[in-house]
Amino acid sequence: MEIYYFSGTGNSLHVARELKKRFPEAKLIPIIRALKKKTIRTEAETVGIIFPIHALTLPWPVEEFFGKLRTGPATYLFAVATRVCFAKVFLKINRLMKKQGITLDATFSFEMPETYIPVFQVYSNEKIREVEREVQKKLDVIKKTIAAKEKHLPKDPGGWFLFSHILYPLITQYFRKIRFSGMEKSFYADPACTGCGICEEICLSGKIKMKNGKPHWQSNIPCTYCFACIHFCPARAIQIKNRNTCQRGRYHHPSIKATDIMEQKECTTPSIKLPVGFLSVWQADNDFCLSGYIEYGHKIVILSGKLFISNTSCSKNSIASFFTVSLAFYY
């Protein structure tokens, strides 16, 4: 089994990992990394795709993925949306794969904690736990369906026809062509930014680049609207102009770390536990990048051999020992 996933704040990655617990033989593959291939071929007997919903439809990287996907003739193909969506979303997937003669065998969608803070408030911790309990129940049901390779293609209720067939396309088009394009130019870092560089490393499109210790969003690279930069910023410094995000909370799935999201776009080695924290190493182009965390409240991020300290009260001895271990591994 192969499970492909796209995740900015960790909801879809969490679901992918939970399905792997139920199917230990499953291999998890990031969609962002798979997109580097001209054609995505798989001979796995069962293939799953897990993704969030953006503006009532597929995130554009997921849409591109389905256009490149090639499976074997006997492959059982299922899709899981980590937000309740119209059946029309899955019909769109079938249209994207029509030329290859591929169609979905099973589709599922369910609610997970909200991440679109320009409109919604983040959930309380209590509600997050409540949602998680429901997700686990749904995944148990999904496991049975997948294990038996059953067909599961639910349709929209009859009363949803007007919305799903008329309003849905209009809303999706509005967000894709107008609202998202305007938002893409509206990201900025407020004065709380410490210049740690996490936003650059976690950006799934490579749009963010650090300049003079501050993030800049490159106009020639499309945004995936995953919001990883917003929700994983330790200083909550990344905002969107005129969207009131400075008054909103932040959320990422409690089981998902920033390095887990970063790993979608890079070839990585697992984190190495150190006496004072951990060290992660991954390859970006021809460089090795490092990130780490010292466990007494002082965060350190090492990027291509550069050391950024978000709290200058960190002791010199701690910095020296951590940096020495990091460089020893780096070389």
Model confidence pLDDT, tens digit, residues 317-330: 343 334 433 333 32
Tokens read off for 70: 């090639």
CATH number for 190: 3.30.70.20
What number of other Cβ atoms are within 10 A of residue 4's Cβ? Answer: 25
d(CA 67, CA 107): 18
Residue 111: what pLDDT? 93
84, 37: one domain: yes
Domains in the chain, number: 3
Domain of residue 204: give its range.
184-247
Those residues of the chain that have pLDDT short of 70 are 158-181, 266-331
108, 138: one domain: yes
Instruction: Report yes or no on 282 lying in a domain.
Output: yes
Residue finishing a domain among 247, 280, 299: 247
Residue 176: what pLDDT? 61
Q: Are the C-beta atoms of residues 278 and 272 closer than 8 Å to each other?
A: yes
Q: Are the C-beta atoms of residues 113 and 141 closer than 8 Å to each other?
A: no
Residue 179: what pLDDT? 52
Instruction: Report yes or no on 261 lying in a domain.
Output: no
Model confidence pLDDT, tens digit, residues 33-57: 999 999 999 999 999 999 999 987 8
54, 114: one domain: yes
CATH number for 74: 3.40.50.360
Instruction: Report yes or no on 255 lying in a domain.
Output: no
